[in-house]
Structure 1
Amino acid sequence: MDSAELAPFHDQVTAALVQVSRTVGQLASEDLGFHRTSSADFTESLDDQSDRILTLTTALLKAATAGTEVAAPTLDTEDSIEDNWRGVVDVIDSLLEKADACLDEFTGVIKKLSPSQEEQAPVVRKTSRFPTTFDYGPSKIPKPQLLFDRKPDNSDLGPFHPLLKTKPHASIPLEKSLKQRQIDGATAYPHPYETEIRNAQYPKPVYKTSPAIDYLSFEGTTATFVDTLEGVKEMLEELKQAKEIAIDLEHHDVHSYHGLVSLMQISTRNKDWVVDTLKPWREELQILNEVFADPKILKVLHGSTMDIIWLQRDLGLYVVGMFDTFHAASALGYPKRSLKYLLKKFVDFEADKRYQMADWRVRPLPSGMFDYARSDTHYLLFIYDSLRNALIAASTPEESLIDYVQERSKNEALQRYERPVYDAEKGQGAGGWYDLLSRNPGGALSKEQFAVFKAIHQWRDEVARAEDEGWQCVFPKHMLFKLAQVMPLDMGTLLRTLSPMTPLTKSRASDLLATIKEAHAAGATGPEWRDIAPPPKGLRTALAVDMEDVDFPIAERYETSQFWGDILQVQEPSAPASYSAVASLEALRLSLPLPPMPTTVSQAREKLVVSANAQPTPAPQAAPEPAPVPEEPKYFTVKDLGAPRKRKVAAVATPDEELSTPDSLAGPSDEPELTEKQRKKLRKEKKKTQKAAQAASQSEADSTPFDYNTADSILNVASTAAPSVQQRKKPFNPYAKALEAPSGARKQKRNDAGKSLTFRK
């Protein structure tokens, strides 16, 4: 980003952050708990947004910590934010430190230190997206391939011709072995040692258990660095005397289109060699076929898949009689099959994997890298002895695990190298875009994006071939997808999309922009990726269909749904009704109670039959009007409404009261008034009788179920009838029950300081 573009971008980001902060503060001040309980839709929407934010935050944290030692916390719930807050702070601190260091370096406050040759091993740091090295720009190390006797020709798209000049230990002459023929539907050269590899058998000692021969001390010995042709010949004479040798390679593929074998390590029981394979005379190493192709000498390798390809591609070397320790570990069912695991298991040696992806072209070779390369083969023969004994012990008369390893090793040795050539239109072939899109999410690419993806993929391949550089030195894979999605049509957008831009792309930016524009225009009428994408593996397996025989499109799409028809098509929304119409419809719905609607077709038919056969019911008689309530006098006195302080006339007892009244209290009507004690007793008996009657009526009411159909409506009560006189006299008091509570303890007189109480005797 240019300095002129930084200020507007900074203002835009600041304004967005301020708006987000205000929105967050406003949401925090609202009563979210109340709104959650009031609306289920709001609760669901809030939870979805919360999960989305947590997912995005976790993805950002993982992207920020990719390739670093900082562990990214996982935010699953809102509570996990508080629990892992320390981890979030650590990620932010590391990003700020990187930004600070980059700004200092950009402004010139500090400069990159030039490491010593011992420490400048260009170790590749792998990230979750693509591997990165010190430099994907121009190589700081002069390209050794420019000095080779046979310069690499990346424009050669024909079948690979083996480099063999002679064929030691041949069963079939070299001339007959190098005749072209049809292999897998294409014209190619056969494997020169195919017959010899298939007929080879392990020497007899491989099938016999014997004590493992101890290895020499790593610290007390050293390897011989071979960088001359005379040194190679001296090494060859010693290798011919060995019965088993261990072989390994170190490869570089960043600043070379096809790749370069940079080192070859060879060990016997008592000596190690490290061979420089970047010399101009590197193809003269074919003289080692006198040992490599000898079936009487066992060649021990680990994970030889790529080693076999690299040996025949760069050096013209072929291996006959190979024992791959990877397949031996697989046959024994070890939990891990890596060389690092085997070194730890059998030798208790921790391999330093810092140099596993180093730039092995550096010369002179630093001591750390030299020791790492040597360790790969120094212990390998001892590991072979241990694995051989374990395989023999685990074998049965019906199944020999040694034979299993031999067959798997032969399949590895029979591999043939072919140049990476792909069909630019269909994307098929080594390094083609078809396999790249199949293993990556490319289903969302539109027609134009798909066309741009194919065009820039081909453009990147052509530039890499012309400059003899790896694809990632032009631009990495993730930039390939980014360019296809953005489709920049002007130079400014292209530079921002590819930032930081490699020198190879920057010098050809105008050419790349023209390629994108042309593909974008042509893609409007082209296919989409989903039209030619293969179906999922599970579907292919279930249908058991040979995809090459299918004549119809694999991913056919329809304009309408095969199940729903055209009901899911987008329709024009109807005009919204006016407010008055909506209000009148709502009022009509409230004023007319709707009957229960049938839920099935059978219920609807039954309802129609019942309504047709039903007899007309007579109109209900009008209910008698209630008697008019006598009007209260306009004027009244408190005395009229109040009760007398004392009763001077005995109350007339009810029949129930007469039965419950004691005989001593019964008498003629002209008896003088009752005493105070008698009146209290009479009132007590009366209250007891009333409470018993109320309890009986209440229990009867509780046992009768409430009938909602005959109950009066509670809507609009105030407008249907005027309040009664008693209601006006005694309005509802919600605290009446609280007033009936027993009175509290009498308040004691406070004894103030300096005063005393006077008591009476």
Structure 2
Amino acid sequence: MVDYEVIDEVGHLADAARRLAAGQGPVAVDVERASGFRYSQRAYLVQVFRRGVGVFLFDPPPIGDFQALQDAIGHEEWVLHAASQDLPSLRELGLVPDSIFDTELAARLLGHDRVGLGAVVEDTLGITLAKAHSASDWSTRPLPQSWLEYAALDVEHLVDVRDKLLEELHEQGKADFAAEEFRAVLEREPKPPREEPWRRLSGLHTVRGRKALAVARELWTAREEYARAEDVAPGRLVPDRALVAAVLADPKSKSALAAVKEFTGRASRSQLDRWWAAIEAGRATSHLPLERATGGDSLPPPRAWADRNPEADARLKAARPVVERRAEELRMPTENLLTPDLLRRIAWTPPEPVTEASIGDALASLGARSWQIAQTAQLIADAFVGSVQAVSEPSETAS
């Protein structure tokens, strides 16, 4: 087994950066976080590979300043797997590529049945990767050699995978599709924070009444603040089910809260004052949440469309199968050809008049790429027009 060393000093990073700058071709990059263990999504290991120089493993917290590495490889194409997951952590370090190749996204566009990293490496190169440490706590120090070997293998074969997938993309006529998708991933703005993130509490649907929901909100907020301060994943402090159990138990005192057997977790007892203060704050507030979230700009569920907007329901039912059929012809998942949300939005509020051009403009305004528009706009326009005609024509069985 190779004895991997982790670079944890700025001076050593500068030396590695010079060597990487002298390598050849694209640069494979991966990140290991401590999801499920830490509150933050910061990188606890950054792996970089380039032909001619090999693999380098960097320890971000002690290094801090990654400018030398950015200067060395920032202008090169970076090869990542599921890039949207790693790019935010890399940006926190000041590591931002000019262009990317996403092997997971390429595999989806090519219609591969399996798109996890191990599966894609096996399908393209015939090499089996062990995934024993994918869910490990990467904030652990020192990192065991077996973990480092796993991390190194995540990038060691990625450039070879990229070459195989690029060849397939050209064979299927999808290289331009992929280039647009990669650029979209790289340029995508972060999603705005949810207005009421506490509503994502698992099991919240069992809580009834606005006052009880206010208590749930305050408990969630107290846990979030403590988790952020301690840099611990919230669910490791007190699981969602425990918070909901505390709400449902409706304890009359701090000791009664401590007696709730389902109220468990690392901090359920040690931080009892914190949780009791949150419960009291929820009970005292006059700012009561609505029974249901307002939903922002969300649409009604499609099952309700027939009653609430029959014309939109007809448009969606006419267009969805033709888009699915086109995705089958292209040998890719429907959601990669056009996300269901985009189709629902233009079905609910179509442009006037409905033409290929107007549908294309509507899709573009919602973020669809030009290749997606070229593949679907005419099909959707035809389906919408046909649905209007079907609704307006009298039924043959009408008396």
Shorter-chain TM-score above 0.5: yes
Q: Which residue of 2 aligns with 1:312?
A: 91
Is 1:529 matched with 2:310? no
Query: Aligned equivalents of 2:25 and 2:278: distance in 1?
Result: 58
Query: Aligned equivalents of 1:495 and 1:330: distance in 2?
Result: 49
Given that 1:443 and 1:529 are in contact with CA atoms closer than 8 Å, whether structure 2 keeps it comes out as no
Identity of aligned residues (%): 22
- SS of the aligned residue for 1:354 comes to coil
TM-score (norm 2): 0.68
Is 1:517 matched with 2:284? no
Q: Which residue of 1 aligns with 2:133?
A: 355
- SS of the aligned residue for 1:268 comes to strand
Q: Which residue of 1 aligns with 2:302?
A: 538
- Measured at CA, do residues 329 and 517 of structure 1 come closer, stay the same or move farther in structure 2, by a change above 3 Å? same
Q: Which residue of 2 aligns with 1:234?
A: 15
Per-residue Cα deviation, 1:629-677 (whole angstroms, up to 9, x for no partner): xxxxxxxxxxxxxxxxxxxxxxxxxxxxxxxxxxxxxxxxxxxxxxxxx
Query: Aligned equivalents of 1:238 and 1:514: distance in 2?
Result: 55
Is 1:402 matched with 2:175? yes
Is 1:433 matched with 2:206? no
Query: Aligned equivalents of 1:239 and 1:454: distance in 2?
Result: 49
- Measured at CA, do residues 535 and 265 of structure 1 come closer, stay the same or move farther in structure 2, by a change above 3 Å? closer
How far 1:416 sits from its partner (Å)? 4.4
Query: Aligned equivalents of 1:391 and 1:489: distance in 2?
Result: 63
How far 1:466 sits from its partner (Å)? 3.0
Q: Which residue of 1 aligns with 2:186?
A: 413
- Of structures 1 and 2, the one scoring higher in RCO (CA 8 A, sep 6+) is 2
Query: Aligned equivalents of 2:204 and 2:273: distance in 1?
Result: 28
Q: Which moved more, 1:477-486 or 1:323-332?
A: 477-486
Aligned counterpart for 1:382 among listed residues 149, 160, 164: 160
For residues 485-524 of structure 1, the aligned pairs below 5 Å read: 485-497=248-260, 501-520=264-283, 522=285
Given that 2:222 and 2:274 are in contact with CA atoms closer than 8 Å, whether structure 1 keeps it comes out as no
Query: Aligned equivalents of 1:227 and 1:518: distance in 2?
Result: 45
Aligned counterpart for 1:275 among listed residues 58, 77, 80: 58
CA RMSD across the alignment: 3.0
Query: Which residue identity lines up with residue 183 of structure 2 in the other structure?
Result: K
Q: Which residue of 2 aligns with 1:323?
A: 101
- SS of the aligned residue for 2:101 comes to strand
- Measured at CA, do residues 501 and 223 of structure 1 come closer, stay the same or move farther in structure 2, by a change above 3 Å? same
Per-residue Cα deviation, 1:660-699 (whole angstroms, up to 9, x for no partner): xxxxxxxxxxxxxxxxxxxxxxxxxxxxxxxxxxxxxxxx
- SS of the aligned residue for 2:146 comes to helix
Is 1:450 matched with 2:213? yes
How far 1:517 sits from its partner (Å)? 3.4
Is 1:342 matched with 2:105? no
Q: Which residue of 2 aligns with 1:204?
A: none
Query: Aligned equivalents of 1:531 and 1:310: distance in 2?
Result: 30
Query: Aligned equivalents of 1:536 and 1:381: distance in 2?
Result: 44
Query: Aligned equivalents of 2:171 and 2:293: distance in 1?
Result: 55
- SS of the aligned residue for 2:91 comes to helix
Aligned counterpart for 1:300 among listed residues 79, 85, 100: 79
For residues 14-413 of structure 1, the aligned pairs below 5 Å read: 223-241=4-22, 242-254=24-36, 256-270=38-52, 271-279=54-62, 281-282=63-64, 284-294=65-75, 297-313=76-92, 315-395=93-173, 401-413=174-186
Query: Which residue identity lines up with residue 300 of structure 1 in the other structure?
Result: V
- SS of the aligned residue for 1:261 comes to coil
Q: Which moved more, 1:304-313 or 1:479-488?
A: 479-488
Query: Aligned equivalents of 2:120 and 2:227: distance in 1?
Result: 38
Per-residue Cα deviation, 1:92-145 (whole angstroms, up to 9, x for no partner): xxxxxxxxxxxxxxxxxxxxxxxxxxxxxxxxxxxxxxxxxxxxxxxxxxxxxx
Is 1:479 matched with 2:259? no
- Measured at CA, do residues 331 and 234 of structure 1 come closer, stay the same or move farther in structure 2, by a change above 3 Å? same
- SS of the aligned residue for 1:351 comes to coil
- SS of the aligned residue for 2:33 comes to strand
- Measured at CA, do residues 443 and 265 of structure 1 come closer, stay the same or move farther in structure 2, by a change above 3 Å? same
- SS of the aligned residue for 1:232 comes to helix
Gaps of 5+ in 2: 313-343, 346-399
Given that 1:265 and 1:272 are in contact with CA atoms closer than 8 Å, whether structure 2 keeps it comes out as yes
- Measured at CA, do residues 408 and 223 of structure 1 come closer, stay the same or move farther in structure 2, by a change above 3 Å? farther
- SS of the aligned residue for 1:311 comes to helix
Query: Aligned equivalents of 1:233 and 1:360: distance in 2?
Result: 23
Query: Which residue identity lines up with residue 269 of structure 1 in the other structure?
Result: R
Query: Which residue identity lines up with residue 537 of structure 1 in the other structure?
Result: P
Per-residue Cα deviation, 1:271-311 (whole angstroms, up to 9, x for no partner): 111111121x32x11222224431xx221111011211011
Query: Which residue identity lines up with residue 208 of structure 2 in the other structure?
Result: L
- SS of the aligned residue for 2:136 comes to coil
Given that 2:80 and 2:102 are in contact with CA atoms closer than 8 Å, whether structure 1 keeps it comes out as yes
Given that 2:32 and 2:138 are in contact with CA atoms closer than 8 Å, whether structure 1 keeps it comes out as yes
Query: Aligned equivalents of 1:451 and 1:491: distance in 2?
Result: 18
How far 1:471 sits from its partner (Å)? 1.3
Query: Aligned equivalents of 2:181 and 2:113: distance in 1?
Result: 19
Given that 1:457 and 1:480 are in contact with CA atoms closer than 8 Å, whether structure 2 keeps it comes out as yes
Given that 1:488 and 1:513 are in contact with CA atoms closer than 8 Å, whether structure 2 keeps it comes out as no
Given that 1:443 and 1:530 are in contact with CA atoms closer than 8 Å, whether structure 2 keeps it comes out as no
Query: Aligned equivalents of 2:112 and 2:10: distance in 1?
Result: 41
- Measured at CA, do residues 403 and 352 of structure 1 come closer, stay the same or move farther in structure 2, by a change above 3 Å? same
Larger Rg: 1
For residues 460-479 of structure 1, the aligned pairs below 5 Å read: 460-479=223-242
- SS of the aligned residue for 1:318 comes to coil
Query: Aligned equivalents of 1:348 and 1:331: distance in 2?
Result: 20
TM-score (norm 1): 0.37
How far 1:344 sits from its partner (Å)? 1.6
How far 1:386 sits from its partner (Å)? 1.0
Query: Aligned equivalents of 2:184 and 2:288: distance in 1?
Result: 42
- SS of the aligned residue for 1:319 comes to coil
Given that 2:203 and 2:244 are in contact with CA atoms closer than 8 Å, whether structure 1 keeps it comes out as no
Query: Aligned equivalents of 1:236 and 1:222: distance in 2?
Result: 20
Given that 2:242 and 2:264 are in contact with CA atoms closer than 8 Å, whether structure 1 keeps it comes out as no
Given that 2:204 and 2:244 are in contact with CA atoms closer than 8 Å, whether structure 1 keeps it comes out as no
- Measured at CA, do residues 445 and 239 of structure 1 come closer, stay the same or move farther in structure 2, by a change above 3 Å? same
Per-residue Cα deviation, 1:587-624 (whole angstroms, up to 9, x for no partner): xxxxxxxxxxxxxxxxxxxxxxxxxxxxxxxxxxxxxx
Q: Which residue of 2 aligns with 1:121?
A: none
How many residues matched? 307
Query: Which residue identity lines up with residue 476 of structure 1 in the other structure?
Result: P
Given that 2:222 and 2:275 are in contact with CA atoms closer than 8 Å, whether structure 1 keeps it comes out as yes
- Measured at CA, do residues 498 and 239 of structure 1 come closer, stay the same or move farther in structure 2, by a change above 3 Å? farther
Q: Which residue of 2 aligns with 1:621?
A: none
Query: Aligned equivalents of 1:531 and 1:288: distance in 2?
Result: 45
Given that 1:265 and 1:273 are in contact with CA atoms closer than 8 Å, whether structure 2 keeps it comes out as yes
- Measured at CA, do residues 267 and 222 of structure 1 come closer, stay the same or move farther in structure 2, by a change above 3 Å? farther
Query: Aligned equivalents of 1:479 and 1:531: distance in 2?
Result: 22
Q: Which residue of 2 aligns with 1:722?
A: none
- SS of the aligned residue for 2:44 comes to strand
- Measured at CA, do residues 388 and 495 of structure 1 come closer, stay the same or move farther in structure 2, by a change above 3 Å? same
- SS of the aligned residue for 1:515 comes to helix
Query: Which residue identity lines up with residue 302 of structure 2 in the other structure?
Result: G
- SS of the aligned residue for 1:258 comes to coil
- Measured at CA, do residues 259 and 348 of structure 1 come closer, stay the same or move farther in structure 2, by a change above 3 Å? same
- Measured at CA, do residues 492 and 323 of structure 1 come closer, stay the same or move farther in structure 2, by a change above 3 Å? same
Query: Aligned equivalents of 1:312 and 1:222: distance in 2?
Result: 29
Given that 1:475 and 1:502 are in contact with CA atoms closer than 8 Å, whether structure 2 keeps it comes out as yes
